[in-house]
Structures are given as C-alpha cells and as structure tokens.
Amino acid sequence: MHETSFSMALLPSLDTPRILQQRMPARGAESLDALLAILPEDAGPEPLARLPEPRRWRQLHERDRARAGTVRSTTLANDRHTLAVLGYVRPGATAFERLTLAGRMVKEAASRKPQTLGLCALEKAASAQITLEALLAAALAQAFTLPQFRGSRERKREEERRIRAITLFTDGKEKEIDVRHTVAAARGNNLARWLTALPPNELDPRNYRRVIAQLARRSGLTMRWIDEAGLRRLGANAFLAVAAGNPRHDGGIAHLRYRPPRRRGGAVDLALIGKGIVFDTGGVNLKPHRSMLDMHTDMAGSAVALATLLALAELRAPIAADAWLAITENRIGPAAYRPQEIVRAANGVTIQVIHTDAEGRMVLADTLALAGRTKPRLMIDFATLTGACVYALTERMSGVFTNRPQLAGKLVEAGVASGERVWNFPLEADYDTDLESKVADVLQCAVEGKGDHILAARFLQRFVPEGVAWAHVDLSSATRQGGLGHINTDVTGFGVRYALDLFLKQRILDALDERT
C-alpha cells in the first residue's frame, strides 16, 4: 500500500488570467500573442475589415469555402508575429457547437504557448455575446494545467507559458458578457478536473478529506466530517459495506454548508450529493485490467458537487445549499462485502447485494438518506454510476432522471443552454419488478445489465424521503478521450457548468411545485 502525506500541492491554483473588455481592435494586435475570431459561415469578408491587418484575414477567409466548425490560422505581419485564428459557426448554432468550435480554436493557439489572447465574435450582437462567452470559457479551460508530477524545471517552464491576459473585443453594440459567472463556472470546472485527474495514491480518502476542509475554509463554508464510527451510529450500513474491504478505515461523508449573506437559518434549498469512490477495484467481483485502469476518476461526482457549491459561494448565490460527499474506496480484502449479503441502510431499507461493483449506489443510498433528513427543497446527485448510461449515450451526453416530471424540461434545457448536454430517461414504477428481492426490500441491481442506468435510478429513489424533489445525474461524460466541447483534456469536469445554469439561469428551484 502506498501512502502519501497531505501536501498543498494537492490544491490547485485557481487564479485566472486578467480579463479585459474593450472595443474591437481597429488598428493593431501588437500586444497579443494570438487573436481568435469567429465568423458566421454564411458571412462575406466584410466583417473582417474590423480586424487588424484585414487583408491578411481576407486571404485566410478565401483559402476555401467556409464550413461551420472549421478552423484556419495564419500569422500577422507585426513584430510579435501574432497568430490569427479564424473559426466558422453556423447561424443558430447551439451552445455546444459554439463551445466545441471555441475549444478547437484555443487548441490551435495553444501550440504557440500564448500568454496574451484576444477574442472576438464577428456576429450580430446577441449571437456575438454567446460566442464570446464560449471563447472565454474555452480560454480559461486551456489556461489551467492539470496535475503534473514532473521535475521542478519542467513545471516552472509550463507555468511560464500559461495564458496571463485575455481581452474580449466588442463593437460596442452588444452588452458586456457576464464575466463573473463565466469565471466561477470555469474555476469550478477546473477544480473538478483537477481533483478527478489526481492519482489514487495522492487523493486517497484521508487526503481528500483534508483537501475538502481546506477548500471549505477558503470559501467560508462550514464542514462536518462523519467518519465510519459516526456512520455506524447512524445506521449507514450500505456505505460501510463498501468500505469494509479497505485497508484503512478513513472514509466518510463530508457535509458542507453554504448560506447566502444575511441568511443563516431557515430551510435548505438545495442538497448536492456526490459519489466519491477514489478508487474502485470492483471488490469481490473484481474488474478486469482495462475496466479498472482509470477508476481513480470514479470520484468525479463528488468533485462536481463540491465545485458547484464553491462556485455558488463565490457568486454569493441566494440559495441555501449543502453538499454531501461520499468519500471512500471499493477495495478487495478479507472483510470485503460479498454478493448475497443483506445490508440495512440508514433509512431502514434492506438491500440484497448482487454485485460488489455496484458500489456507487450503495454509498449514495445512505448519503441520500442522511441528506434527506434536512428536508431540502431539492436534492440532486452526481455520480459516475453506470456503464449502461455510457452505452446508451456514449460520453457525449450524460443522463438525468427526476421524480418530478415538471422538472424534466428545466433539466434538459440547462444542458442545451450550458452546452453540457443531458438526456432525460424514464423513471417509471414498473421497472421496480426487476429489483424485487425474495429476502429483502430491494435488490441492489439486476443480475443482467440491461437498463442498469434506469434500475440504478429506481434503486436510489428508495432512499429519497417522500415529498422531497430529486434529480439524479449519471455522469457518462465525466471523461472522454480527446475531451468534450470546449474542454481539450480527457477529464472533462462535466457537470459544474450545467449545474450553475440549472440553478442560477434556469432557476429550477422556482419551478418546484411544493404541493406535489
């Protein structure tokens, strides 16, 4: 067993580049290492006249027929040899399409290791504002460096090549973009990616607890850690069953609280629940090599829930929110839990264990039950829960479920608007027949894997108190080879941007009908 001591190196720097907004550069770009411009695919060369060295941009534009999603680049004739990157967007493009284009453009610019970036959108005012936000989100993601464990000289070299300043150019007609929201979402995404990418001997349960505590202190959040002894007193035996095979019993549930300024008491509006399995061997039902290789990322749901709460605090959102993070491992050992065991969860529901690699729903069962005791208006959990959701959607979208049909539209719309797309799956009661047990209240999962993402959601719903609205996000998009949208790393941080849109722009809490 490899142990590590807690190090501040486990905490990323979330400092962002300096961001300016000013009128379109009519003359030069001598202060920029790269200038990125997005043009509608059906536009002529006329808008390019607003850029420095318009003749060079027109030549770039005339290389070939404009096609949405394509990226071209050249070098301007100034002393700095500014890289000019031109991208094309279709009229009416979705947020995901704009983010994907922006991601390609900043990746093109990244090969030059720019320290100063200029971003502009040569579109009509409303579209230009959306496109500029997408470019800024992509630039902030590119400016962030995931954990590196190379020599100090190489790390210093990487640090020196980071993006330092970003200028958003407008023509003065559109409103300034909401930089504060975009930066908070980017910081949250970067934190989620950082934590998810950390190797399992660095981010073990003990160190994860310390990281969470440090981040909570920085953001003025209160934190309570419920260790395994405390969970035993609370009857959280589903969580403890998963933790039983671990060599060290240092797991637990972190409960963090954010309250808006001048609001300390009253009801909890929102409970964010996250699966934090820092490494998943599969337990007794051991995973094969390929399936186990990246299982340090199985805590992505907890990273999303944590980062979302921190972003809400940064924005001083008017939402009383808690986060409940289920932190442990699923290891193999003499005491590991086994198929056919009967386990009683914190809410009294008995579970017949079928497969020890369905550990995520076990730890979430108790975490949902405990969070539900605070009677929040809405509970939403994030988890890399099932391979079935990946098979259904691939890693391009994530799955959502809800026990309130009136929330389904908001859940999907937040995916459309944020560019982190989701698909709403059914949660019909007749699926419960596949989880009927002859000896317990419920089967942990079915023996066969078909529809497991739906069955997992039906299982989790049993641990949500009656009368509490709930949504479940199966994070099939937490990792994707080559990245997704504006994120160019395999670890995507999917979920933070989505959640902030859901709570602050779609205002899903306002859609709750308290009579149901």
SS3 content of the chain, % helix, strand, coil (to 5): 40, 20, 40
Quote the CA–CA distance of 491 and 190 in Å, as a whole number: 10
Annotate 60-109 with three-state secondary structure: HHCCCCCCCCCEEEEECCCCCCCEEEEEEECCCCCHHHHHHHHHHHHHHH
The 3-state DSSP class for residue 482 equals coil
Rounded (5°) CA angle 449-470-499 = 95
Quote the CA–CA distance of 504 and 317 in Å, as a whole number: 8
CB atoms within 10 A of CB 238: 29
Tokens of 327: 């932190």
Using left for φ > 0, alpha for ψ between -120 and 50, and beta otherwise, residue 340 falls in left
11, 215 in Cβ contact below 8 A? yes
233 catalytic per annotation: no
Active-site choice (98, 259, 361, 458): 361
| β pairing state of 252-258 and 222-227 | antiparallel
107 catalytic per annotation: no
Annotate 194-253 with three-state secondary structure: HHHHCCCCCCCHHHHHHHHHHHHHHHCCEEEEEEHHHHHHCCCHHHHHHHCCCCCCCCEE
320, 264 in Cβ contact below 8 A? no
Quote the CA–CA distance of 309 and 376 in Å, as a whole number: 15
Active-site choice (56, 161, 210, 287): 287
Tokens of 72: 């071209």
Quote the CA–CA distance of 120 and 36 in Å, as a whole number: 6
Quote the CA–CA distance of 129 and 133 in Å, as a whole number: 6
| Sheet strand arrangement including 378-383 | 222-227, 252-258, 321-330, 270-280, 378-383, 469-474, 398-402, 422-424
For tokens 């940064």, the residue is: 314
What is the Cβ-side half-sphere exposure of residue 319, based on CA atoms within 13 angstroms? 30
Q: Indicate the residue type of 27.
A: R
CB atoms within 10 A of CB 320: 21
- What values do phi and psi take at 263, rounded to 5? -140, 100
Please report the DSSP string for 6-73 in residue order.
Answer: --GGGSPP----EEEEEE--SS--TT-SEEEEEEETT--SGGGGGSSSHHHHHHHHTTS---TT-EEE
The 3-state DSSP class for residue 149 equals coil
- Known catalytic residues? 287, 361
